[in-house]
Amino acid sequence: MAMKFSGQVALVTGAAAGIGRATALAFAGEGLKVVLADRDAHGGEETAELIRAAGGEAFFQACDVTCAEQVKALIEAGKARYGRIDYAFNNAGIEIEQGRLGEGNEATFDAIMGVNVKGVWLCMREELNLMLGQGGGVIVNAASVAGVNAAPKMSIYSASKHAVIGLSKSAAIEYAKKNIRVNAVCPAVIDTEMFRRAYQADPKKGEFAAAMHPVGRIGSVEEVAMAVLYLCCDQAAFTTGHALVVDGGATVI
C-alpha cells in the first residue's frame, strides 16, 4: 500500500546531508514541496538542486536552530513561499562526545544541548503555532536509540535524545485534540558521512558497529527516511507520542 499524504509541504532541518537529505528527497519523491534548512549553506543548496533536478520543488534557507530569530524567520519563509507547512522533520543535531561523564566539559554540554534540545524546542514552538493556525500538521523529531537506552561515553548526547523524546511525547498530548501529531524517530548506527568519518578509517570499529545490530549491519539513511514518512502519512493518523526505533533489533537485546 502506497503512503498517502493529505498535506503538500514538508520542512526538514539538518537537510544538507545524511538522514536529512535522504528524507527531503523522499518527501519530494512523494510530490511534496520541501523547505530545507541547515547551517551548511553549500550542502543545503545542493540538496535543493538534487530535488529540482528530479522534478521536485524545494528552497533552502540557512538556519542555526539554536537561534530563535533564525528559526522564526525559517518558519515565516516557508509560510510565505508555500502558504503552510504540513510536515516538519526536526532533524538537525550534533554528536561530538566521546568520554565518560566525569571527563566531560561545560562547552561540550552546552553545544550538544543547544542544538539537540533547544534547537528542537525552538523549531517545535514555531511549527506548533503555525500548525494551530492552519488547522493541523505533523511533527517528527530526530531522537536516537541513545534516547531509549544508555549510551556509555556519550552521556550528554544520550540525555539530549531522551529530552527530545520527552518533548515529543509531551507535545503529542498537549496538541492531540488540535489535529497535530508529534512523534520521534530513533535510529541506531546509520551509514552517514558522520559514521564514515568516525568508523570507516578503522575497519575494526566499523565491524563492531555492525555487530551491535542483530541483523548484522548498520542502517541506511533511506530506511530512516521511510520511517519518518510513515509517521507523517495519512495511514499513521492514529500514531502520536511514539518513539519509533529504526535499529536492526539493537534495542531488543
Q: Is 157 a catalytic residue?
A: yes
Which entry of 82, 87, 157, 175 is annotated as an active-site residue? 157
**Site of grid cell 570499529:** 205
Cα 185 to chain centroid distance, Å, stands at 7
Which of 155, 171, 154, 190 shows the shortest CA–CA distance to 90? 171
Segment (H or E) for 182? strand 180-187
What is the residue-wise DSSP string for 42-60?
Answer: HHHHHHHHHHHHTT--EEE
Going by C-beta distance under 8 Å and a sequence separation of 6 or more, which residues neighbour residue 38? 13, 14, 15, 16, 20, 44, 60, 62, 63, 92
Please answer whether residues 192 and 19 qualify as being in contact, where contact means their C-beta atoms are separated by less than 8 angstroms: yes
Q: What's the CA gap between 97 and 236, in Å, rounded?
A: 34
Active site positions, annotated: 157
